[in-house]
Every structure is written in structure tokens, then in C-alpha cells.
Structure 1
Amino acid sequence: MLELTLARGIWLTPDLLAWPPCALGEHAASALDWALHAAPEGGIDPRAAEPVAWQTFPLAVEPALPDDIVAQHPHLARAVALWLPPGVDAAETLRGQVVVAAHDASGTLVEASGVQNGPVLDRLYPEAVHARLGLRWDAGVPSLRVWAPTARQVDVLLWPSGAASTDAPRRLAMAPASDGTWSITGAPDWAEARYQYAVTVFAPTFGRVVENRVTDPYSVALTVNSTRSVIADLDDPALRPPVWEDTPSPLLGHAVDQVAYELHVRDFSRSDELIAPELRGTYAAFTEDGHGRRHLARLAAAGLNTVQLLPIFDYASVEEDAARQVHPDPSALRSAAPDSEGPQGVVRTPRRSFNWGYDPWHYQVPEGSLATAGAVDGAGRTREVRAMIGALHGLGLRVVLDQVYNHTDGSGQGATSVLGRLVPGYYHRHDRDGEVSHSTCCPGVATEHAIAEKLMVESVVHWVRAYRVDGFRFDLMGHHSRATMERVRAALDALTPDADGVDGRAVTLYGEGWNFGEVADNTRFVQATQGQLGGTGIGTFSDRLRDAVRGGAPFDDDPRVQGFGTGLVTTPNGAAVNGDAGVRGQQLLRDADLVQLGLAGTLRAFRFRSQETGEVVRGDQLAYRGQPAGYADEPDEVISYVDAHDNETLFDAITMKLPPDVPMAQRVRVNTVCLALATLGQSPVMWHAGSDFLRSKSLDRNSFDSGDWFNHLDFTLADNGFGAGLPPASDNAAHWRFMRPLLADPSLKPDAGAMLAAHEAACDLLRIRASSKLFRLRSAAQIEAKVSFPVSGTWAQTSGVVVMLLDDRRGEGVDARWDAIAVAVNANAWSVRQEVPAMRAGGWAVHPAHEAGADAVVRRARCDDGVLALPAWTCAVFVHPR
């Protein structure tokens, strides 16, 4: 098959290539004649007869690659080895078109394809990992350096500060170096100039040499809509607002102390009438006394200590010039019926103003659409982001950024492709067919390649040094290797207050440790997935607790699957997918075990008696969808949560799962129980913004591009967003039949009183977690010593109840006030009496946060001679004084 724009061949070392056997069909590799064709200007046609205008090198075929090569590239274990003859200049050859071709004995072309160049470029230019790339300042003089080892020529195109966008640039030649970089030293008057690189390079997707005009992947500032990079000095005092300069980062005692609030910058203030219209939806709104800031202050006073921001790096999907944005007709949206199809048809406008931002363009520059109009062009974004971070630090809140290094918006010669136009073929991972991988939804970045990994590591360091960021959440972290994540950790740990202005050891790291795609099951490297990060201090989100509490999984065909926290047995919704009473009862026991394990940090070695079997089990002996449920070695390797920006909000999941006739007051209690199970366990915690007050996205399971309308976030607690119409068809139409009657039911939309009650109950959970280090034990050893589930799997166990005992009398004490704490969760729709023999000693009382809290129902909970009286849908915490 003639597929010269694909890259089935893999060039590994200067003298060795690999060819995947799956691409050969019925042909035996050893029976074919193999050759590498090279043409500086392109134009190769492997079917052409001799003589030809390009070089051809015969390739010696062997059935297997050397063992050391397979160890480095395990996905090539069955690949054919193709050896080049001596004397081939690999570096020069890679500056043109390269094709591997195979012919049978009759001379018929069997296969031909381009090659993947990542491994060999890493071999040819090992010193590039030490190069200082991007913009640097030395005594007021800027310099630029870019890695483009396959380029014929690289020039910088320069537009002086103040030049019109239509003015012709100055063209200045950059000097090449042996490490594959090109550099130029400028002059002081280059400050605030705009620039691009003009890279003369062979583009495989076009089959010819082109001049690509491209921005700097290490840009620190950009023009509107990312057309040009800006030579900005981020140390300029004008970019260092006092609120950022003078406000220190709040510190955690340990990573397990983190309680994060996941928030989109635009959502935070877009509907806030206390904020000036020109500031709404921007970084600047965080510095204003608006409803959002007041809400965060209330949460911080209760115990929230971190804000986790959805992507704020430069992304491609949103028009950055507010004057050019197209907005849906607000009157048409407001007039639509709660179950109407109308709103979903208009929210995804051209030149839109909203997106979650998981489509990276430039990793080190703040997104312009989130800046005020006067700051979009140039480095003003930096000042506004710093002021935002300083304002959050002033509330006692750390700032975690959501980073997306696993993919980019564009690749190849695409309009938003920076990396692919600088070094074609290098930065993106290819699948078994030679196509750029899209398992992450977008072109996947091959961070196993040295300079791709370098960009990731140095970008993380940049955000910490230049912005004083306190942590990172990595999107689809399982598409990176454990080794890459360890290098990120090491680079941060090397930052010191004296040298860098920050203590990098205090920066927290965690991400999505899902295992899928072309890298699944350690196919290419040991992945940064659940259960493979032991000892790193890097956390992964736990789907175990999430699914057990909510029921089902995020991508179920029927969203009505119920779980421990959503009435599986006690409030069945009648959906056949949940099974009969016997099936539901058995599933509830399994869910309860996963809940208990989650409360104990999802530790693989934690032992407790199973509710389902009555046997003592380890965490890794419990099953979760064919995998061990317990996977962490230490509690900071897990993030507990029950909802996030993706999939339905907690309120929406509860709405889909509970029977419609459950009163709103009970729905509030269900919400609190679900949050409690994520909040009072032995791991860092994340809440999705608004979960504390019943936020809805009108049942939208993927609101990434659903605009302000479906992503409504109202910190006045007046409107939770439910009933905004049927959510966009592309991600939800298969569930519209379930959604429509719910959205049309006015009893399912909470009023302000219900939203306030949920918020106040959630704040009490924060106060409880903050009240004792027993909720935040720092090691598996401490958890093993102090955490137990005393009635689980015993004769005393009541179905739908979990009791966790935190006993500070065992091991070294961590709490000066209480020698024991008990967390009792009744997920039944009725009150229960739960006998707990371990609590027969007198002196137990409900937690002071309950006594002083807004929930009168939980104050009715009692412990009398080891018998707990627990109201329906209640999490009650009891304390025993020293």
C-alpha cells in the first residue's frame, strides 16, 4: 500500500529502522526486498523504474530487533529489523523526504510509507535536552533559541513594538548548532516586539519543502488569537502586581490535607452582577468583591484550601477578541421551555466565547479570552493571572492548574499546529497504522520523546517560577510515562526559595490515571496510571469511590444505575438496569465495600472485613471492573471525588438516579451524604464547583462546548441551572428520553432555600475534615493502625450503613482533643439503629460542627451505649474526648 503521508516505519537509531509486522499482511518480511529512499526536495515514487532522482539505500532485514532496543520500545517486540548500510548520513537524510519500501521477488511494490523520526532524532541530538529554549534575557538583551533539527534554514521574523499587523517584518537569520537548535541574540529595542519563526523544512503531509511561519512553542506572551509571539520580560515590575508580589502561597502540612474546588475562570464570574460587565468571565474578576469571591471566602473559612482551575493556558477553540465573539440570543434561551431542544441548537456558535480549554495551542501563555480587553494583546495577561493568583492566595487558597500535555489541538501542517510545523513528525505519537494517534480525542503528544518531555517539564517549572502556582492536575496522565512524571517531580523539587522564589517541594501533583489507547497496559512504557505511582507522591483520581457512591459509570447506556449514595436498595427507581431486589442487595454490599476502601485511602494493603463476604480482605483483593479495587501504596496517591467538570454534576446524577417523587429536602440530604463520602476519607479531596449548592448543567454530561447557558454557575444561590433545556445532542441525545420528563418536572428544580441548605451542610463537612488530623493521616501505616470499620461484615452490620472508626489510641497520637472519632453514614431512606460494640464506652457526642451547624436533622443523631441512632440520609460524625 502506497501511504507516503503515513509513518509506519520507525527510525530508531542512525543505522536501524523497524517495521511493524501487522502492516505486511500475508507477506514474509524476509522474502521482500527492502529499501530506504531519500530525496531532499521530495517527489519519491517507489513504483518508479530506475533511474530515479533520489537516493536509494538497500536495507538488510532481520526477523527481530536487538533486545536492548525492544526494552526501550516494547510495543515493537514483534517488529522487523531493517539495517541501513554504512555511510548513510541520517541527520542530513532526515531533512528531506524519507520513504521505506518493500518489493516482492517480481518487483511489485508491497508496502511503502514514511517514517517516524522521534527515536532517531533523540539519538542524533542528545545534547538538546540541556539547551535553553525559547526567550531568554541577559542584562536587558533578549535572545531566542528554537529546536528544529530537520530544518534547512530558520529565520526570525520581527515586528517592532507598535508596528501595524500588516507591516512587513524584518527577516533575520538564526544560527544553527550541533544540538539541532537555532539561535539569535537580539537588542534591547526588541522588547515588546512581535515575532515568528520562518522554518524551511520538508513537510510529509504536503510531500514537499515548505516555509512554515510559526510561533514559538516556548512563548511567554502572544498577540490576539495567538498569531505571533511577543518578546516580553516577565520580570518587568509593571507585570508584578502587589497582591501577587506581597501575598505568600498558603502551605499544606501534607498533600493529604488538600481540599480542592474545581472551577472554570469564566464560570466564576460570568453571571456575577456585582462585577463590572467588562470584567465578568476574566481573571480580573477574582480580585473584585463579587459573589464568587465571597463564596470562596466562606468555603475557605470552613476548610477549603485549594482552587483547581480548568485550563488557563492558551487554547485554540475560543475567539480572543471579545468584539468578534458571537453569542446566542439571550431572549431565545430564556424563553425556551425547561425540556426544549431549542437552546442546545444555538449555544455552539462560531467564534464562540466559551470552552473548557482542553485543546492546547501554547503551553506557557495564559489564554487570552479570559483576559480583559486591554490585556489580551501581549503580556497584560500575565499581570492579570498573577493578580488572580495573589487574590486567591489572599483568601488562603492555593492554586492548582489543569494541564493538558497529552495532546495538542493541531498536528502536521494544521493551522493551530506549532510543534508539527517546527519538527514535522517528531512531537506526536503514531498508532500501529502510522497515523497520528487520537485516542485522547486530539493529536497525541509523544512525551516519551526527549524534547517533547522537555517541553512538558519546563512548562510546569515555568508556571511555578513565573506565576507561583501551587499544584498541577494532569489531564489523561496515563498517556505519560511514570518516568516522565518523576522527572516533573524532580524538576520541581529542585526549585528553592532562594534561587527561584518558590519551594518546589510544596507543589502537589496529581492527574487522571486512566489506562487506555495506544499506550494501554504499558504497551510503550510504564504508564503514570492508577497503581503504578507508588512512592512518587503523585495522585490519581479514584473512580472506585466515585462509581460506588453514584452508581454505574460515566458512560453507561442507561444513566439510571443507582449506587450506595443514590438509593440502590432503599429508594429504587424501578429501572430494569438495576436488577431485582436480590441483585440490588448484593450490589449494595459490593458498593459499600468500595466506599469503605475509599474512606481508607484506596490502599492496596488495607485490611478490613468485607460487607459482601464477611471475610477479611485486602484492598487489592476487592474487584472493581476486573481490576484490583485497592491500588495505592500511600494515601496521597489517590484523589477522592464524586463529580468533576466532565460527566454529570452530582446533582444531575442524583436527579437521573433517584425516583422523581423523592422530595427536594431528601435530595439535599443525598447530596450531602455523597459529598461526605468523598470528603471524610483518608485522601486529598476534590469538589466540582457548585456541588456544594446543587449545581446543575441541565443534565449535560459533557458541557465542554455548551456555552455559558448550560455551564451557569450562580454564587447567589438563586438558580442552580436545572431546566435550561435539553443539553446538546452530540453528547446527550441518546439520553434525551430519560432527561425530557425530568427537566419538565418543576419539583426537581431546587429553590434558594434548598441550595443554601446544601451549601451550609457542605461547609460543615469541610469544618469536620479540618477539625482533626485523624481525617488526614499521612501514611498507610497510620491508616492501618487507626482506621477500621468495626461492624462491617459482622452480625451487627445494617444494610446501607457504613461506620468508620478513627482510633487515636492506636499508634502515635495526632489529635489533642479527641481520642477517637466515628463517621457513621446512613444511606437509607429511613432512620436506623446501628449497634457498634466498639463505641460502648460513654462520652460519645455528635461533632461540634454538627451541633453548631445548620442541619437540625443530624443533631438528632445519638450514641447510647454503643447503639447509634441515625436519621435517614445522614452522615453523622461522633467524637470521644480524651
Structure 2
Amino acid sequence: VHYHRADGQYDNWGLWVWGKDVEHPSSDWPKGALEFNQSGPFGRYLDLPITELGKDIHFLLVNKATSKQTKDMSFSDRANHEQVYLHDEEDTVYTTPFKALSERITRAEVTAPHQVLANFTAVDQLDLAKVQQDLTVTTNTGQAVKVTKIDVDAANKRLILTTQEDVSRTPLKLTYHDETVNSQTGWKLTDSLYNYQGELGSTLQADGSALMRLWAPSADAVTAVLYDKDNPDQVVARVPLTKDASTGLWTVTLDSQNTPAKNLDGYFYHYQVERGGQSVLVLDPYAKSLAKWDQATAKEKVAKAAIVDPNKIGPKLSYANIPGFKKREDAVIYEAHVRDFTSDPKLEGQLKSPFGTFSAFAERLGYLKQLGVTHIQLLPVMSYYFANESARAQRELQPSTQNNNYNWGYDPQSYFSLSGMYASDPSKPQARIEEFKQLIKAIHDQGMGVIMDVVYNHTAKTHIFEDIEPGYYHFMNADGSPRESFGGGRLGTTHKMARRVLVDSIKYWTDTFKVDGFRFDMMGDHDAEAIAQAYRAASALNPKVFMLGEGWRTFVGDEGEPVQAADQDWMRSTDGVAVFSDEIRNELKSGYPSEGQPRFLTGGPRNVYQIFNNIIANPSNFIADAPGDVIQYIAAHDNLTLHDIIAQSIKKDPKTHAAEIHQRIRLGNLMILTSQGTPFIHSGQEMGRTKQLLDPAYKHKVDDDKAPYKTHLLVDEQGKPFDYPYFVHDSYDSSDSINRFDWSKVAGDGQYPHNQATLAYTRGLIALRKSTDAFRKGTAKEIADQVTMMTSPDIADSDNVIAYQAVDSNGDRYVVVVNADNKVRKLRFNPERFPGLDKAEALVDGARAGTQVLTDLVGVAYDAESVTLQPLTATILRIKAKPDQAPQPEPEQENQAPDRIDPLSVARAGFGGFGGDVAQAPAGQLPATGESQAPLSLWAAVMAGLGSLMVGLGLKKEREAQ
């Protein structure tokens, strides 16, 4: 939001903001108005964080000293504008720096050797003859440029100037009346003029010198500003770079001749870029490490780069050797945040390393190894902008949802440097490299792979790239302004050097750190060719590299330049990159835009054919030509956790209904882990993670305008708020008390039986999935031939039960039957179509899951023609191709962690949740956990003898009517 005052007196004037799409609405009138804290050519401006698609944005100008204010203003045209302009004390919102109908020149862009596009606030009333007379075009040295022809592009409010001279490599000044603008070179022309394919960034050489390279073809001068390695605030040298006019590359070698350093290792630097009489410090986009960063107190707009040699830091690495991982469908991905995984204060004294670091994460890998996942996907670990790395070691134990020194990392400022937030000492640029490599080695040593979550779709701030080469690195609007997202620029990956940033970054992490995969944030924002090139580059280094991304249809690109996006529609054309399936998520537990509504797992009957198609990696909202194109998931870092969305949907407080919530979690995990494609698990999903706000100030509902940031208010079926009714849905700015992985819930000491039973159940499901290829088919044809929906007269088209079978390559059949209904369901099957049920072995029942054959079944009975399931119960039955072979029990895993609990004993204690008969925990215990710590309730009387049910229970057989 830009603000211009003719009198230049900005003191005390601020912006009061409100609206549901404003992330931080103002409070404490009028002192709480936002300060216009940055300066620009228009006057002052501020950055206003709003939701990605939000349009409900309201504001007014107010003098904080006198309370003088304007009328209310609002803005909703987010599709076309990310910047607005306010004048003096007017109540009009402008989308250009100039008032309406004022015919002023706003920018100029050289798009061809003899063509310049000149944008105006309006062109409809321009007299071209008068423009020809009044418009002057000169080089930056003052030489006149003759304009031979002027055409009007009314749709884009610009004039097309034809020049007599070749102006492709000459910075221009255009003056019309009292306005002068400096020209930019259009990205297409830049691509055609400057072709550079060599190395970029700083390279530390064997003799201690450093070769510095920056691509900035339109810069007038570039200087390396060198800072002391022990005092990053102290400038020790300023060394000019030399330009290669044919490539746009600026270079210099720093050594003891032009700096006081004999060895440049560990020194910090900026580049000072001069252009059109202005100078700005920029971050080397290829910097391999950074100085300690604190965005709030930094004197510069970007971090300082560090001169290091990553190849000589840390252990020697190789790519992961993951047992059983031969194709994408063999993977089980586990998404985790580095800090969350060890920020639980209960680990104090158990960790050798500082909590929240790469090193601490490595100490807890045994849990994930035992869980059985194949790949650990780390939320972004590249340097992000909004952080105070100096305070990374401070715990944040008070429940809070904003203004914390915590970040998910989706605000990048460097694509080649790690964040110092996860280093034991952020002041040492080598430490973060060393410790991340050690973590990767530790993960590989455990037989698992590393997937990096990467955010190339936007930066934290547009100036990060725009200051280096204006009008080039981002996707562009027709008026020549960069396209923005989340306050930063959208990286223009159709532009050669911007695409190189993405591809070179992927190559760097793959080659230097031996990373095993990448998850692309908002991948649909990129063009498909850029992602395809990244995949080809990475797979040439690591043929087993795994790439996945958010394939939502969000591509904007350059205005008027449509290309194929890397979205869900692209899946019919690629078998190298996968996308998340939002349809299975939405059908099973609800999601955007229906979050909280009843779905299959939460009491809402759904079309079982559509659900089955999703299970076989064939969603209706995009075409996947291979199952590996589909990431099957029901929870991720954003939105409510699986536990919390279930509680919201069924309107039951986990304080008294924990058992039912966990039963539904187990059903969801079972369906994901028996689906074709690649299953994806959010950290804590395996044990029922919650992000309930356990703040005494919010133990009860508060007024809507005082509700905590980024929370949902959860209520029961009567509309009564839960005890501690606020649950955090996007915890990217929440404290450790909300985000921590709660290790006590997987400790196996019986304190949290529901969590521990869900963990054991999920762990068994992963082992079962990995033990057979029935759920891991590699082609659509295999699925069509070997995976079948099991029809029954007892299953309606829209229902909360489903049955399907998948055939292993050895001929064994796996029958999966799920009852997400609130009542007992008996499902009859035609024994001619689905033979052998009476000879089946049960591997999963209402309490247990795994590879061992179960007896004394819980909640499950079956015979040759039917399967009967108790409420919220599933089973997996194996019908062996060679029934004469006795089943071989699985050997016990070695080195079992002390987090085991007998799930059968939990189930025998009772089902819980339905009759409201869960025993109450002492009230004083509840705030510490957010759920009941009591034993599970007893089975209802009709279920009392369930433990003795066996195959052939004697239930009356009824023949299928079909």
C-alpha cells in the first residue's frame, strides 16, 4: 500500500486495516494503525499480509496523534493488482501511482532493437502528434534517440515507439512533460541478447582466493562489498567487478591483492548494483551460505552471502539405498518440520544437540525407522526471510498463534543457502552445511531418503531478485510490473536465467547434498518445462530421485503468454513428477473449500465408486496415466490436523470422545496406505497429532473480533463450544507449544492409550503395505487387471462402507473392507465373483494391523459369503494363492523402541466414544493434554462377546441378490 502526501509530512499517519482476508487486523485505535515504514519513489509504503486468494480487504488512513481519519476504503481486484496507491487524505484507491485520467508516462521497456513500449496512465485522449513533439528519448549519456513512428496499444495503455537507432543494449531515459522514467529491457529481448551458461555465484579456490560472478546485464556498475568473517557488520573491502558486455556477466577475483584477506573462506559479502543513478545492495542469488540473519533488525534489505566451499564441508555423502524402493509407488513419505520434531521440552536432557536443529533431528530417527517410512520430507530448510536466527535457541512454550520466532519456511530469500534457524550456531556459515549433511547421512544410514520441500514459486520479497535485474526474474504483468504472490515475486521460470535459478538449485542440492527428492510448493505456478528440466537434471545424477508437488491450477505466468503449467493437467504427459490428490483428501475427510463438512470418514455418505476410483489413483479431477503420478494423502502441514478436522466434522470434543476420533483416524490411515499411488503422512498423523490451543485465556469462546489468529472455533452438535474450543489451522507463526511433536504420546507408558494404539496400528499398516505389491502397482494396466471394487447389495451408491481387493504378483488376494458407519454393517458378497473368503487370514481387525495372521478377532467376523464389521472398523483379509502353505509369522523387529503398546488390550478395554461413557479424567489434567487420559470405555452390551468371534461365527448366510 503506497501513500503520497504533497506536504511530505508522514509522521503519525498510519493505515487501519480489517477484513477476514487481512492476516493481522488492526487493534488499539488509533495507535495500532500500521506505519508506512518504507520509502519509495511514490512516497512511503507498507507491506500488508493478506491471504493468497483473499478479496475482503478494508482500510482507512488515520492520524494516530489526532485521530483524524478518512472514510472507509476497500479493495478486491487482486486478480489484476497487488499494489494500491493512496493520496493525502483522499478516500480513493488508485491502482497506479497517478491520479485517474492524468496522462502521465509510468514506465518504458525496450522489447526489440528498434522498439520501445511506453506505458501511460491513459492513452485514449493522447494526441500522437503532440506526443511526438513533447516526448524526448535519450540514452543515459544524454544522446538523443529519434522516434520515427508511434502506435497506440489502448488495451494495455501504452505507446509503441519505433526508433531509428538500435537501442537494444542502451539504457534510455524517456521524458514526457515533467515525468522521466528509465527504460527496462524486456525479458524476451534480454534472453535473446545475453546468453550465459557458465557458473554463477562465488567459488572459493584452492589458493584461498574467490571468483565472484553476478549476472546483471542492465547494471551500470557492480561492486563486491566484503565484510569481515568475524564481524559481519564491518566492511573490509570494496572491489569493482568487470562486465562482459556480450553475456551480461560481472566478474572479479578477490584475493590478498585487493582485500586484506589471505584466505576468503568464511568472509561475507553483498553486491552493490548501480543502475540509472541509483545504488542498491543485493544478495548473490547463488550464495551457498549466509551470515546470521534477523529480518527485524537488519540494516540491509537482504542477508549477507558467505564465501564457502560446500564440497569440502561435512561428511562424504552418497544417495540413499532404501530397501524395497524401486519405483515411486514403493515410497511412504513422512512430512516433518525440523524444529517441531525436537522442540518438545520433555526431550530436555535426552538430546545431545540443541533442540530444533538438524543434529537433534538426527538423534530421533529411530522412531521414523521403526515406523517404516521410506522418505522423510522436510518442510523448507533453505534460508527464509522472516526469522531471527540469533534467537533460534529460545523456547516458545506459551500457547500463541502469532508474532513468534517460528516459521514453516515458505518465504524464501535464497535458493542455495540453508536457514540458520536449524543450525547449532547460525553465526558460522559452515555449520549449517556440516549439520545438514550429517542429518542426510544419518537418514541414509537408516535406509531412508530425504525429500526437500522447495519454494520456487515465489520469494519473500520482490526486491530480492528485482534489484538485481529489474523486469526480468519474475513473471510480468502487461504493464511491465512484476507479478507477485504472498508479498514476493513470482519467479518467472519461462525466462532463461530465472529458469536456471530453479534448475541449478535442484542440481546443487542433488549433487552436493545427495538429496533424494523434492516437493514443489504450489508447483502449478510453474511452467511444466521448467519442472521437467529440473527432473531431467536431478534424475541424471540420481535416477531414483522422487519429485512431487502441489499441482493446483494456479498458473498465471507472464500476462498474455499462456503455456502448459506443471499442474494436475500435466500428469497425462509426465511420469517423472507426481501431484497431490485433493479429491481423495476432500472425499475422505473434507478439505478446501468444504473443510469441516461430513465426509466418508466423518459420517457423510459419499459416492463409493468415486472413492474407489481415487483409491486406484484415478481421481475425476485430473487424468493420471500412471499410479505414481498420484500422491495419496488426507493431511499435511497446512489446515487443521487430521485429528482436529475429524473433531470439527463430527462435532465431538476430544476431551470426551478421543476413542471415536482415533478410530476414524485409523480408518483414514488404512485407506491411504492401501491406496495405489504413493501414500503421504503428515508428522503426527500416525498417532493423532492435535494443534488445540490450550491457552487459559481461550478456554471458552471469546468475541469473534478477539478470536486467536489462524484458529477455528469447534463446537458440538448442540452448538456448544468445546472445552478449549480453538484449534490452529495454519500454525506457521505459532509457538512451540502448539507445533511441537508431543513425544509423550508415543512413549508407550500407557498415559495416552488412544495415541499409542493409533501409532501401533499405523505402523502395522505401513509394514503390511511394504510386505506385498498388491497396494503398490506400477502401471494403470496392472491396477485394471488386479484391483477390483467388491460390490454388495448391502452397499449403497453413496455410503460409509466400501470393499475392494488387490492381487499380489504371487497370486495372493488382499480384501479390504472399511466400515466408517456409526453402526454394525454386514456386507454380503457373491462367492462366485469373490471366492475364498472363508479361507482368508485376517491381518487387520478393529484393533491391530500388520503382517502377522490374527486370531481372536476384534470387531470383525467373516465367512464364505459375508463380512461383518463393528462401527468404525476395517479389516484386511489375505486369501493365499496356495492355501496349503502355513502362514509364516513375521519375526519381531530388533531394537524395539519403548513406544510399544498392546493395541488388543486397548480394544478389549472398549470401543469408546459412542455412548458418551468415556471415564472423566481429573479436570486439572485436561489443560496439559487437551484430551481424556482415562482408559477406554467398555463395549456396549451387544459387543460383549466380540473377542470370541471366529471365522464361521454361525451368522445366517444370505445369498447376494444380484
Q: TM-score range by the shorter chain?
A: 0.7 to 0.9
Asked whether the equivalents of residues 332 and 374 of structure 2 are also in contact (C-alpha less than 8 Å), the reply is yes
User: Which is further off, 538-547 or 32-41?
Assistant: 32-41
Structure 1 residue 853: deviation in Å? 7.4
- Aligned equivalent of 2:292, options 220, 224, 231: 224
In structure 2, distance between residues paired with 1:730 and 1:430: 37
* Closer, same or farther: CA 805–284 of 1 in aligned 2, 3 Å: same
Structure 1 gaps, min length 5: 43-51, 65-75, 102-106, 203-207, 334-342, 496-503, 570-587, 604-618, 620-628, 700-708, 711-721, 809-813
* Closer, same or farther: CA 637–858 of 1 in aligned 2, 3 Å: farther
- Aligned equivalent of 1:191, options 256, 264, 284: 264
Q: How does 1:89-104 map to 2 (within 5 A)?
A: 89-93=167-171, 97=173
Partner residue, 2:777: 777
CA deviation map 1:145-192 (0-9, x unaligned): 110101111122234544663243242433434110011234493331
User: Which is further off, 484-493 or 454-463?
Assistant: 484-493
CA deviation map 1:709-749 (0-9, x unaligned): 99xxxxxxxxxxx98999995753674778982243799x9
Asked whether the equivalents of residues 698 and 743 of structure 1 are also in contact (C-alpha less than 8 Å), the reply is no
RMSD: 4.0
Q: How does 1:500-539 map to 2 (within 5 A)?
A: 504-516=542-554, 518-519=556-557, 524-533=562-571, 534-539=573-578
1:293 correspondence with 2:288: no
* Closer, same or farther: CA 785–387 of 1 in aligned 2, 3 Å: same
Partner residue, 1:348: 402
Asked whether the equivalents of residues 510 and 540 of structure 1 are also in contact (C-alpha less than 8 Å), the reply is yes
* Closer, same or farther: CA 194–5 of 1 in aligned 2, 3 Å: farther
> Structure with the greater relative contact order (CA < 8 A, sep ≥ 6): 1 or 2?
1
CA deviation map 1:91-128 (0-9, x unaligned): 222xx5568x7xxxxx999x999757322211211x22
- State the TM-score, normalized to the length of structure 2: 0.69
For 2:439, the aligned partner's letter is: M
* Closer, same or farther: CA 376–426 of 1 in aligned 2, 3 Å: same
* Closer, same or farther: CA 90–456 of 1 in aligned 2, 3 Å: same
Name the larger-Rg structure.
2
Partner residue, 1:833: 826
Structure with bigger helix share is: 1
Structure 1 residue 765: deviation in Å? 1.6
Partner-residue secondary structure (3-state), 2:596: coil
* Closer, same or farther: CA 249–86 of 1 in aligned 2, 3 Å: farther
In structure 2, distance between residues paired with 1:117 and 1:13: 8
Asked whether the equivalents of residues 271 and 282 of structure 2 are also in contact (C-alpha less than 8 Å), the reply is yes
1:843 correspondence with 2:839: yes
In structure 2, distance between residues paired with 1:827 and 1:29: 72
Partner residue, 2:391: 322
Asked whether the equivalents of residues 604 and 800 of structure 2 are also in contact (C-alpha less than 8 Å), the reply is no
For 2:335, the aligned partner's letter is: E
Asked whether the equivalents of residues 806 and 815 of structure 2 are also in contact (C-alpha less than 8 Å), the reply is yes
Asked whether the equivalents of residues 768 and 851 of structure 2 are also in contact (C-alpha less than 8 Å), the reply is no
1:13 correspondence with 2:112: yes
Q: How does 1:336-485 map to 2 (within 5 A)?
A: 343-344=399-400, 347-349=401-403, 352-373=404-425, 376-412=427-463, 417=464, 419-432=465-478, 434-440=480-486, 442-485=488-531
Structure 1 residue 63: deviation in Å? 6.7
In structure 2, distance between residues paired with 1:638 and 1:774: 17
Structure 2 gaps, min length 5: 1-95, 257-261, 294-301, 728-741, 746-750, 882-962
For 2:504, the aligned partner's letter is: E
Give the percent of matched residue pairs that are identical in Structure 1 and Structure 2: 23
CA deviation map 1:397-416 (0-9, x unaligned): 2110000001111123xxxx
In structure 2, distance between residues paired with 1:669 and 1:356: 29
1:241 correspondence with 2:277: no
* Closer, same or farther: CA 246–199 of 1 in aligned 2, 3 Å: closer
In structure 1, distance between residues paired with 2:144 and 2:337: 53
Q: How does 1:131-280 map to 2 (within 5 A)?
A: 131-137=198-204, 139-140=206-207, 142-159=210-227, 161-162=229-230, 165-187=233-255, 189-202=262-275, 209-225=277-293, 227-236=303-312, 239-241=313-315, 244=317, 252-271=325-344, 272-276=347-351, 279-280=354-355
* Closer, same or farther: CA 803–249 of 1 in aligned 2, 3 Å: closer
In structure 1, distance between residues paired with 2:148 and 2:788: 68
* Closer, same or farther: CA 190–5 of 1 in aligned 2, 3 Å: farther
Partner-residue secondary structure (3-state), 1:360: coil
* Closer, same or farther: CA 519–145 of 1 in aligned 2, 3 Å: closer
In structure 2, distance between residues paired with 1:514 and 1:285: 34
1:548 correspondence with 2:615: no
User: Which is further off, 419-428 or 306-315?
Assistant: 419-428
Structure 1 residue 851: deviation in Å? 6.8
Structure 1 residue 794: deviation in Å? 9.0
Partner-residue secondary structure (3-state), 1:784: helix
Q: How does 1:4-83 map to 2 (within 5 A)?
A: 11-16=110-115, 38=137, 55=145, 57-61=147-151, 82=160
In structure 2, distance between residues paired with 1:648 and 1:81: 50
Q: How does 1:398-797 map to 2 (within 5 A)?
A: 398-412=449-463, 417=464, 419-432=465-478, 434-440=480-486, 442-495=488-541, 504-516=542-554, 518-519=556-557, 524-533=562-571, 534-551=573-590, 553-556=591-594, 559-569=595-605, 588-589=606-607, 592-602=608-618, 619=620, 629-660=621-652, 663-698=657-692, 729=707, 731-732=709-710, 735=713, 741-744=721-724, 752-791=752-791
In structure 1, distance between residues paired with 2:157 and 2:324: 50
* Closer, same or farther: CA 158–296 of 1 in aligned 2, 3 Å: same
For 2:315, the aligned partner's letter is: P
For 2:679, the aligned partner's letter is: V
In structure 1, distance between residues paired with 2:410 and 2:563: 24
In structure 2, distance between residues paired with 1:437 and 1:284: 38
For 2:835, the aligned partner's letter is: R
User: Which is further off, 666-675 or 857-866?
Assistant: 857-866
Structure 1 residue 24: deviation in Å? 5.2
Asked whether the equivalents of residues 214 and 284 of structure 2 are also in contact (C-alpha less than 8 Å), the reply is yes
In structure 2, distance between residues paired with 1:451 and 1:516: 22
Partner residue, 1:117: 186
* Closer, same or farther: CA 744–321 of 1 in aligned 2, 3 Å: closer
